[in-house]
Amino acid sequence: MIHMTSMESTSHAADIEAIGRLVATVEHSQRNKDPEEFLSLFHPDAIWTTAHGKVLIGLDAISDFTRKVLPAASWDGEVTYEVVHVLFIRPDVAAVKVRQRYVSPGEESEGAPLYVISKQADGRWLLTACQNTGVVAA
């Protein structure tokens, strides 16, 4: 269930669906360790901060990092991404809170990414300023 005000859920229904598809594509690219699919979701001037605090500025830096790390990722289990909250900052800018889970035999980890995404002239939503935060078990 995506949380937002009732006014937002009514006036942004098509955008909410598009944002859900964007996050589903992030999930698909991670599950399949596909850097090209993942990179296709970024604005050229995007900023990405990894769960370990590495700051990547611009698509070139994000691409270099992703092409090295994603294909060699060590998970072999289930990967899920769930949109849990959307806040429209403007009609063409949204903050999206995501629940991220990686489950492998004998191991589970969770993340709480925040994606600030922007709607392009062609109607596509792109990752623009993102922070991937790992969740530490209490």
Q: What secondary structure letter does DSSP report for 70?
A: S
* Listed residue (85, 82, 78) closest to 109, CA to CA: 78
Per-domain boundaries in the chain:
6-135
Q: How much is the pTM?
A: 0.88
Contact residues for 36 (Cβ-Cβ < 8 A; gap 6+): none
Q: Indicate the class that CATH gives domain 6-135.
A: alpha beta
For 3, 65, 100, 121, 125, the CA distances from 83, given in Å and listed in that order, are 9, 25, 9, 23, 14
Element (H, E) at 29: helix 13-31
Q: From first to last of its 138 residues, what are the pLDDT tens digits of the chain?
A: 455 444 455 678 999 999 999 999 999 999 999 999 999 999 999 999 998 899 999 999 999 999 999 998 877 778 999 999 999 999 999 999 999 998 888 888 899 999 999 999 999 999 999 999 988 876
